[in-house]
């Protein structure tokens, strides 16, 4: 049975901590969809707002830092084949390195808010030798804003599904469906933009 969060309670029992541990793992695997679903649980009174927001921000920072570290390791040459599999090689790698050196704030904000091209962009940031402290500052800022927006979207749905919190499977299914919708929209947007970019490259509009 899913227990609503006790308002003002300490929440120190293992039953209350366990859902947040599961959320932490899911947010690392698929942050946006899980964050929206978690926001719905907050709106339904099942989870607490601050821990959910903090977990979403932390998961983003950890994931992006891992990409940055992988890109940094590519400077030694051994990881270059792996970076190439993520689209960071040749002329594109040179262009990405130039972009992150000259316009890091714009690159990070665009990648985090639109969630398109984040992997090659953050790999390139590490490969280009961008100071980690500078990278971390912009990632933390944009991740905080994005997490707040995604949790707020979930909060809008939370009160309407609060009545089924006593049925854990129904609530989990509904939350998964909500997160799945967000993921589907994200994937469709990525495909459309990738197709558009490919068309522009073919026509010589983009370098």
pLDDT tens for residues 92-118?
Answer: 778 888 888 889 998 898 888 766 678
Which pLDDT does position 200 carry in this prediction?
41
- Over the stretch 28-52, which tens digit does the pLDDT of each residue have? 887 788 888 888 888 878 889 999 9
Query: Which residues in the chain show pLDDT less than 70?
Result: 1-15, 77, 114-116, 160-183, 185-187, 189-207
**Alpha carbons 46 and 44: distance in angstroms, whole number:** 6
Which residues, in sequence order, are CB contacts of 37 under 8 Å at separation 6+?
Answer: 154, 175, 176, 178, 179
| Predicted pLDDT at 119 | 84
Domain ranges of the chain: 16-203
How many Cβ atoms from other residues are within 10 Å of residue 172's Cβ? Answer: 13
- When computed from its CA atoms, the radius of gyration of the chain, rounded to whole angstroms, is 19
| Cα(54)–Cα(59) distance, integer angstroms | 8
The size of the chain, in residues, is 207
- Which whole-number Å values give the CA distances from 69 to 89, 113, 115, in the listed order? 17, 21, 19
Contacts of 38 (CB under 8 A, 6+ apart): 23, 27, 47, 52, 55, 56, 151, 154, 175
Exposure class string for 19-30: b at 16+ Cβ within 10 A, else e = bbeebbebbbeb
Q: What is the pLDDT of residue 112?
A: 82
Measure the CA–CA gap between 86 and 198, rounded to whole angstroms.
16
The pLDDT of residue 91 is 77
- 0.85 exceeded by pTM: no
Helix (H) or strand (E) holding 33: helix 31-43
Contact 123, 74 (CB under 8 A): yes
């Amino acid at each position: 049975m899913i227990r609503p969060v006790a308002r003002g309670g300490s929440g120190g029992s293992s039953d209350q901590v366990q859902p947040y541990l599961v959320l932490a793992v899911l947010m690392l695997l698929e942050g946006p969809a899980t964050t929206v679903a978690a926001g719905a649980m907050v709106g339904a009174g099942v989870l607490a707002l601050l821990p959910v927001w903090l977990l979403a921000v932390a998961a983003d920072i950890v994931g992006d830092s891992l990409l940055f570290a992988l890109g940094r390791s590519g400077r030694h040459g051994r990881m270059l084949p792996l970076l190439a599999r993520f689209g960071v090689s040749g002329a594109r790698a040179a262009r990405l390195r130039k972009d992150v050196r000259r316009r890091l704030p714009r690159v990070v904000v665009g990648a985090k808010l639109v969630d398109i091209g984040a992997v090659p962009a953050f790999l390139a940031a590490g490969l280009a030798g961008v100071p980690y402290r500078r990278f971390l500052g912009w990632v933390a800022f944009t991740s905080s804003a994005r997490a707040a927006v995604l949790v707020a979207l979930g909060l809008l749905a939370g009160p309407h599904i609060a009545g089924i919190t006593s049925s854990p499977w129904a609530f989990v299914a509904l939350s998964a469906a909500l997160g799945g919708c967000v993921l589907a929209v994200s994937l469709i947007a990525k495909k459309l933009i990738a197709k558009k970019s490919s068309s522009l490259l073919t026509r010589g509009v983009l370098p």
